[in-house]
Structure formats: structure tokens, C-alpha cells
């Protein structure tokens, strides 16, 4: 039995007296004006309530995988790692004064079972049953041993009050006045701005310090960046071009940023297409791309170069199998790329592009999302790299829906982008959804992961073993074997690492997460981390 207390690292040190009061203004381009809907199960608006108003059972830090009990005061796995028993915290109140209980937790999960469109984390594709045990325990039974799935169920599912939600005729409808257990309550909403106020009866006593949070709506990146650079907001969450000039220089003492990597931006390689099904072609491409230059020219260096193991660095550096990575190399090396191709029987044509023995040229289309200029700029570098080495790629920009449809159904040769599922607190989550053929589907069918249709039963088995283990050493050893398949088979090419965009000003607010104290994933759109960030913040002047 693993027991946890509320005094874990994710709560601000309770003995330090902070001045109460102050306002934090968030600056995060969302693309719409506010609809004033705070339904935590609506994927388009859940970022406005999950973390501040609604809370999960356990807070699991996306960057460090450190778990802090929230609405659960303790939890334990059964010996076969298929059953999770959660003890519900006592003394918690809903913001309308009603007491919080295990009934609310049970109700929330039953609600998701009944309304699959609300189940954003697909919790019920993992669970087989949820039962109440006594008055303060909930027992989750998983379909198979599923230690990592704890994250989706306990850490990513918001709990709602039964006494309100059981009376709603349509749980998908808008929730204009949310009632939650979180540190803030929604006090006022206009299409332009949402105002949150401190929840005076919050269960973490003395928190939050901040009295008010403002969340203005930005429909486009540039106005949002101007607003932040002008000093009108404290906390930013988007890409800022040339941040040194644009943001830092505007207030050198107070403006800061930190962009920790949270997922990979890959070249997805459709394994079912001719030529691309040849490992040599994929390996050659991995050698032929100058990832640092892509990172520098496409992303101003803010999104660091990726590595072929698919394990994010520095976020998950402890998981990287450095010796294997060194063995395979995959440093930018056009000569090596040419050797690989020639060894596999490809010859360079008069146009400078390699072709196989039947004359089929290594020329591919790559799909990207229109309007993502950083990707377009990145692909310009990739295309130049590969062209000079002897492979031709042509970019096709699609709108988001068409892009997603082509990617999920496997209707592409190459695709640039990241997984659409939310990342997780260890490399397991992203790599499973990238490589495990149990997540994929036939060409033409919609795949939830493994968009490149990589099929390797021994790798699939590695993920199952990982999921059944709570032993860190064993998990690391399994992760090494998974990395080997990334290096040997090159199912996808991680080019750069997507980051949590995070800019902050210490002018009037302190207590921000930093690289040396990563107590939460720092972007305002990291859920539910933003709620954790907010309870650490305090007024400095």
C-alpha cells in the first residue's frame, strides 16, 4: 500500500507566509472568443476549468511524473496491477458548500461510461468496472494490467459534483456556472474575458494566495504576443518569434521564458507504401536531416532537435539508452545516408535523385497543416537537406481536418506533425501511441495511434510488459528495447521536440515554475497543471 499525503512537493511550502491578493493575467491564444461554457468534458473548452475549478484524483506532473494526491488521499494497486483502490479525501467541499464524497467520483466515471462523447481520455477503453467500496473508497478494475493508464484515469479525469450533474438533462450542454473543488471559482465571463476568484473554502488551507485570475480571449497569435510584450499580462503560453527582441528586451529584469519539451514532432513514414516500406530508405532519411538546423531555422531553436530514440531530452533524459543511440548515431551525415542507400541497391539518377533498380525515384509527398508556418519553414530545411543528399520531398499543406483525416486513415506517404493524443509523464505514453500496433487500424480506417502502421509483435509485447510492471529498473530495461526498434527500424523520424510554450513576468507575481523547480508543466494550457501553477503564485509588489 502506497500512502501519500498532501504535503508533497506539489504544494507550496506551507510554512512560508505569502502576502494574499493580487491578480494574474493569462495570455494564451485560443482562437476564439469565450463561449462561457465550463463543461470539463468538452474538449474545446476544458482548458478553462480543469485544474482551476475541477480537479483530478491525483496530480501527476507531466514533466517529472511526481504524483501528488488531490481528491484521492491515497491509492494502491492490486498485486496483478489490474485493480486500483483509491481512498477519497475527506473534508473537501464543493464551491457551493456541499460536501464532496466518493459518490461524486463514482458518478463522474459512470457519467463518462454512459456518454462516450464526454470521455475525452477514453477511460472506458481501459476500464472494465468502477465500484464504491465502503463510504470512502473507489475501486477501478482495468481490462488488463495497466500501471501507466493510471495517468488517464486518476490524473486526467476531472471529477464533477453529483448533486448538480445528476439533474442535468444533457451533460454535453454548456455549463455556464461551474461548481468544483478547485482553488478558484469562475466569477464572471464575457466573450472577451473570464475572471476567476480565489475559492475561500479550498481544501488546501491557506491557498491560493492570488485573489484573481484574468483570462482574456485572443483570436490570433500576434495580438496576444503584443499584449504580453506590452506588459499587460503576466503569463504567456504561445510561440513568440525572436523572443529576445520581442519579449525579453522589453523588460530585461522581469521577463523570462522556459520551453520544456513535451512531445516529438515527427516525420511519419507510411510503412505500407512502396519504397518507404524499405528500412534502408527510412534510415537514409534519418541520416540526411540536419535536425539542429531545422530547429534553428524553423523554430528559432526554441524547439530543440529531436533524437532517433524518440525519448524527449532533457525532459526524460534518464530514460535514454545513450549507448545504443551512440552506436546507431543518426547525426546529420549525408555521406552515411548515401552509403545506406547504395548498399541497399539504389542508384543516383542524372537528376541527383536516387532510384531503385526498377527506376522508381525516391520522391515523396509530405503533408503538413496550413498556417503552421514554423512547420513550413522546418520542412523547407528538411527538403533542402534531403534534396542535396538525393531524396526529393514535396510539401502539401492541408487544413487541419483534412490533414487529420489523412493521417489517421493512412492516406499519405510522409506526414509532419506530432501525436494528437495528449502527452504523458514518461516516454511510455508517446512511444506506445507511436509504435504499438494495437493502437493502429487498417489503411482507410481511423487509427488512434501508430499512424505509420508499424507492425512488430515483439515491440507490442514490450509495451504490455511495461504496463504490467511497477518496477522502475524493469521499466527502464524494457524502454531500452523499445528504443532499439526506433533506432533499427526508423518507423518515424523525430525531427524536433514540441515544447510547452511558457513566458512569465516577475514584475508583480512570483512563485513561477522554473527549470530548476519544475513543480508543474508550465504552459497555461497544460491540464490540470495550470491550476497547480496558480496556487504557487503570489503577489510580490
Partner 1 sequence: MSLNLVADQSRVAAPVGSRSRVLGNLARALVSNRKALTGLAVLVIFALVALLAPVIAPYPPQADLFGQILPPSAQHLLGTTGNGQDIFSQLLWGTRQSLVIAILAGAAATVISVIVGVTAAYLGGIPDHVLNLFTDVFLVIPTLPLMIVIAAYARSGGVFVIILVIVITGWSYGARQLRSQALSLRKREFLEAARVRGERNVYIILAEILPNMTSLIVANFLGAAVYAVLAAAGLQFLGLGDPNDLSWGTMLFWAENNGALLAGSPWWAIAPGLCIALLGGAFALVNYAFDEIGNPALRPVRRRRQ
Partner 2 sequence: MTYLIRRLEFFAITLWAALTMNFIIPRVMPGSPAEAMLVRFHGRASPQTIRTIEIALGFHTDESLLQQYGEYLWNMAHLNLGTSLTFFPSSVGKAIMVGLPWTVGLVGLSTVIAFVLGTLVGMLSAWRRGGILDGALPTVFIMVSAFPYFWIALVAILIFSFTLNWFPLGFGYDLHQHIELSWDFIGNAIWHGFLPALTIVITSIGGWILTMRNTMITTLAEDYVKMARAKGLSPVRIMFMYAGRNAILPNLTGFAMSLGFVISGAILVEIVFNYPGLGYMLLQAVNNEDFALMQGLFLLITVAVLVAVLLADFLTALLDPRTRAAD
Among 201, 400, 438, 515, binds partner 2 (CB under 8 A): 400
Instruction: Compute CA distances 74 → 63, 153, 203, 261, 412, whole Å.
Output: 21, 15, 16, 30, 46
Q: Does 35 bind partner 2 (CB under 8 A)?
A: yes
Of 5, 131, 143, 232, the one binding partner 2 (CB under 8 A) is: 232
3 vs 44, which CB is nearer to partner 2? 44
Which partner from the list partner 1, partner 2, none does 218 bind, CB cut-off 5 to 8 Å by kind? partner 2
What does the block give as the cell for 6? Answer: 498532501
- Name the grid cell of 225: 504576443
Joined together, the cell numbers standing for residue 207 give 491557498
Binding of partner 2 by 373 (CB under 8 A)? no
The residues facing 263 across adjacent strands are 498
Instruction: Using the rule CB under 8 A, give the single segment among 31-39, 126-134, 263-271, 389-397 that binds partner 2.
Output: 31-39
As a whole number of angstroms, the distance between CA 217 and CA 171 comes to: 25
Q: Is 447 in the site for partner 2 (CB under 8 A)?
A: yes
* Burial of residue 470 (number of CB atoms within 10 Å: 0-12, 13-18, 19+): exposed
Question: Are the C-beta atoms of 232 and 489 separated by less than 8 Å?
Answer: no
CB of 239 to partner 1, least distance (A): 9
* Contact predicate 70/56, CB 8 Å: yes
Grid cell locating 384 = 533542402
CA nearest to 255, candidates 243, 237, 238, 267:
243
Question: Taking contact as CB under 8 A, which single stretch among the options 79-87, 190-198, 314-322, 482-490 is the one that binds partner 2?
Answer: 190-198
* Strands in 240-345 per DSSP E: 255-257, 261-269
CA distance 530 to 61: 11
Binding segment (CB under 8 A) for partner 2, from list 65-73, 400-408, 490-498, 501-509:
400-408
Query: Would you give the DSSP letter of residue 35?
Result: -
Nearer to partner 1, 81 or 496 (CB): 496
Site for partner 2 in 123-162 (CB under 8 A): 125
List of residues 6+ apart from 409 with CB closer than 8 A:
443, 444, 445, 446, 447
Least separation in angstroms between residue 512's CB and partner 1 is: 23
Span from 69-77, 106-114, 225-233, 335-343 in contact with partner 2 (CB under 8 A): 225-233
Q: Can you tell me which residue has the cell 462561457?
A: 36
**Of 266-274, 397-405, 454-462, 483-491, which segment contacts partner 2 by CB under 8 A?**
397-405
The reply to whether 329 sits near partner 2 by the rule CB under 8 A is no
Name the residues that contact partner 2, by CB under 8 A. 31-33, 35, 37, 42-44, 116-117, 120, 122, 125, 172-174, 188, 190-193, 195, 214, 216-220, 222-224, 226-227, 229-230, 232, 371, 399-402, 404-405, 408, 420-421, 446-449
Amino acid at each position: 500500500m502506497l500512502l501519500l499525503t498532501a504535503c508533497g512537493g506539489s504544494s507550496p511550502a506551507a510554512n512560508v507566509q505569502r502576502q494574499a491578493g493580487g491578480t494574474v493575467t493569462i495570455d494564451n491564444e485560443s482562437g476564439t472568443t469565450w463561449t462561457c461554457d465550463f463543461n470539463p468534458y468538452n474538449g474545446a473548452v476544458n482548458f478553462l476549468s480543469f485544474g482551476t475549478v475541477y480537479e483530478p484524483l491525483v496530480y501527476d506532473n507531466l514533466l517529472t511524473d511526481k504524483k501528488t494526491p488531490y481528491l484521492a488521499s491515497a491509492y494502491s494497486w492490486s498485486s496483478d496491477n489490474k485493480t486500483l483502490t483509491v481512498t477519497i479525501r475527506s473534508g473537501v467541499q464543493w464551491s457551493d458548500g456541499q460536501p464532496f464524497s466518493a459518490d461524486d467520483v463514482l458518478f463522474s466515471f459512470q457519467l463518462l461510461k454512459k456518454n462516450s462523447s464526454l470521455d475525452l481520455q477514453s477511460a472506458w477503453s481501459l476500464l472494465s468496472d468502477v465500484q464504491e467500496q465502503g463510504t470512502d473508497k473507489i475501486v477501478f478494475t482495468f481490462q488488463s494490467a495497466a500501471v501507466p493508464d493510471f495517468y488517464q484515469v486518476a490524473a486526467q479525469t476531472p471529477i464533477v459534483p453529483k448533486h448538480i450533474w445528476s439533474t442535468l438533462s444533457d451533460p454535453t450542454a454548456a455549463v455556464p456556472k461551474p461548481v468544483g473543488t478547485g482553488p478558484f471559482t469562475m466569477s464572471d465571463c464575457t466573450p472577451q474575458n473570464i475572471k476567476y476568484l480565489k475559492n475561500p473554502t479550498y481544501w488546501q488551507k491557506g491557498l491560493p494566495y492570488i485573489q484573481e485570475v484574468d483570462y482574456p480571449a485572443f483570436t490570433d497569435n500576434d495580438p496576444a504576443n503584443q499584449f504580453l510584450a506590452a506588459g499587460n499580462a503576466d503569463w504567456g503560453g504561445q510561440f513568440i518569434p525572436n523572443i529576445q527582441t520581442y519579449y525579453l528586451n522589453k523588460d530585461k529584469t522581469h521577463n523570462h521564458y522556459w520551453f520544456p519539451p513535451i512531445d516529438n514532432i515527427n516525420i511519419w513514414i507510411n510503412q505500407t507504401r512502396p519504397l518507404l516500406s524499405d528500412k534502408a530508405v527510412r534510415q537514409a532519411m534519418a541520416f540526411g536531416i540536419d535536425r539542429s538546423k531545422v530547429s534553428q531555422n524553423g523554430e528559432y531553436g526554441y524547439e530543440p532537435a529531436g533524437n532517433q530514440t524518440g525519448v524527449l531530452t532533457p525532459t526524460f533524459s534518464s530514460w535514454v539508452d545513450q549507448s545504443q543511440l551512440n552506436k546507431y548515431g543518426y547525426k546529420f551525415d549525408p555521406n552515411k545516408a548515401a552509403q545506406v542507400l547504395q548498399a541497399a541497391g539504389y542508384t543516383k539518377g542524372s537528376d541527383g535523385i536516387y532510384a531503385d533498380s526498377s527506376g522508381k525515384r525516391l520522391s515523396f509527398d509530405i503533408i503538413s497543416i496550413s498556417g503552421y508556418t514554423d512547420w513550413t519553414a522546418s520542412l523547407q530545411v528538411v527538403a533542402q537537406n534531403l534534396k542535396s543528399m538525393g531524396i526529393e520531398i514535396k510539401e502539401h499543406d492541408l487544413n487541419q481536418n483534412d490533414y487529420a483525416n489523412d493521417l489517421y486513415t493512412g492516406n499519405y506517404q510522409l506526414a509532419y506533425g506530432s501525436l494528437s493524443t495528449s502527452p504523458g509523464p514518461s516516454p511510455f505514453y508517446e512511444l506506445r501511441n507511436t509504435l504499438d500496433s494495437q493502437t493502429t487500424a487498417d489503411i482507410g480506417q481511423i487509427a488512434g495511434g501508430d499512424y505509420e502502421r508499424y507492425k512488430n509483435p515483439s515491440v507490442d509485447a514490450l509495451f504490455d510488459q511495461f504496463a504490467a510492471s511497477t518496477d522502475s529498473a524493469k521499466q527502464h530495461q524494457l524502454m531500452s528495447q523499445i528504443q532499439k526498434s526506433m533506432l533499427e527500424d526508423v518507423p518515424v523520424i523525430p525531427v524536433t521536440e514540441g515544447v510547452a510554450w511558457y513566458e512569465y513576468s516577475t514584475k508583480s507575481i512570483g512563485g513561477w515554475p522554473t527549470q530548476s523547480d519544475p513543480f508543474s508543466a508550465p504552459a497555461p494550457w497544460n491540464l490540470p497543471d495550470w491550476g497547480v501553477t496558480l496556487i504557487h503564485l503570489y503577489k510580490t509588489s
